[in-house]
Amino acid sequence: MIVRRALTLLAATVLLLTGCAGQSPPPHDPPAGPRLPPVGGQLDYQLGGAYDPPDGVEMVVRDRAAASVNGLYSVCYVNGFQTQPGELDTWPENLLLRDDGGEPVIDPDWPDEVILDTRKADEIAKIVGPWIRDCASDGFYAVEFDNLDTYTRTDGALSRDDALDLATLLVDTAHDVGLAAGQKNAAEDASFLRSRAGFDFAVVEECAAYEECSAYTEVYGDHVLAIEYTDNLPRPWDEVCGDPETPASVVLRDRELVTPDDPGYVFETCG
């Protein structure tokens, strides 16, 4: 969030003490340099809506349109390789991947998202770059880039090198403004992306369910933030927590990532 040095100490104290869900957290300065997530810290994943994190949470991931959380390691979610739902009209038509008939290519896994043409990495980065800078000025400590593996769903139209070109530009921008850069999923490319694009940590979904946690921890060590979902849990949660392959920071969430006022809300950690 934008720093407002005119806020009085009293006002900041009141906000801290009340912690009301409807209030914004106290403002704070953006980070001075990349800082990695705290090892083993409790994680909350809030892409379905922002809310006051449960007690004990040290890290929270929120959409770039949401506020960071003062006092917590906040990670800013950016979909840099596809359009976000409801934002298609904000993208220049020449940056959308098109099929042989000239129609935008929709991600088969996400029917409300259109794939960006990563062969035009420089032009895409000019649009996504300001989002990253906003994450820094809003007080986030890191950014995660989603859909790095989009190229695998384009029937060969896009390549891994295309994805790498864009990823490198986005990671460089993050580092330039003091943010750590997180690889989102794409287990098969973890080593490649860290060594070539410079990612600092990973945010991974369902690595226990698909038995691929080690693909990330072998590359990023303890700097892996893991999310499992209730509808695809491979075994009881306590067994997932006790598995040495499970990353130190892992959270169990409902698939829709709803807020606590929704009856479908689920939040469990191993702590």
The model's pLDDT over 151-190, given as tens digits with 9 standing for 90+, comes to: 999 999 999 999 999 999 999 999 999 999 999 999 999 9
The DSSP secondary structure of 77-130, one letter per residue, reads EEE-SBPPTT-GGGS-GGGB-B-TTSPBPEETTEEEEEBB-GGGHHHHHHHHHH
- What is the predicted pLDDT for the residue at 13? 37
Domain presence at residue 18: no
User: What are 38's two structure tokens?
Assistant: 């705290």
- pLDDT bin (cut points 50, 70, 90) of residue 30 is very low
Domain presence at residue 9: no
Residue 69 and residue 66: Cα distance in Å, rounded?
A: 9
Stated as kind and residue range, the H or E segment containing 267 is strand 267-269
pTM for the complete prediction?
0.87
**Under 8 Å CB-to-CB from 12, ≥6 apart: which residues?**
26
- pLDDT bin (cut points 50, 70, 90) of residue 32 is low
Cβ atoms within 10 Å, residue 155: 9
For the stretch 64-82, pLDDT in tens is 999 999 999 999 999 999 9
Is the per-residue pLDDT at 16 higher than 80?
Answer: no
**Under 8 Å CB-to-CB from 86, ≥6 apart: which residues?**
112
Instruction: Give percent of the chain with pLDDT exceeding 90.
Output: 87
Q: Are strands 249-253 and 267-269 parallel, antiparallel or unpaired?
A: antiparallel
Residue 18 and residue 1: Cα distance in Å, rounded?
A: 19
Domain presence at residue 21: no
CATH for 202: 3.20.20.70
What total number of domains does the chain contain? 1
Domain presence at residue 6: no
- pLDDT bin (cut points 50, 70, 90) of residue 10 is very low
Domain presence at residue 23: no
Q: Which of 3-17, 190-204, 252-266 is predicted with the least confidence, judged by mean pLDDT?
A: 3-17
Let me know: does 244 contact 230? Beta carbons within 8 Å: no
Domain of residue 257: give its range: 35-269
Domain presence at residue 134: yes
**Under 8 Å CB-to-CB from 133, ≥6 apart: which residues?**
173, 177
Q: Are strands 106-107 and 110-114 parallel, antiparallel or unpaired?
A: antiparallel
Instruction: Give percent of the chain with pLDDT exceeding 70.
Output: 87
Instruction: For residue 76, list its beta bridge partners.
Output: 62, 143
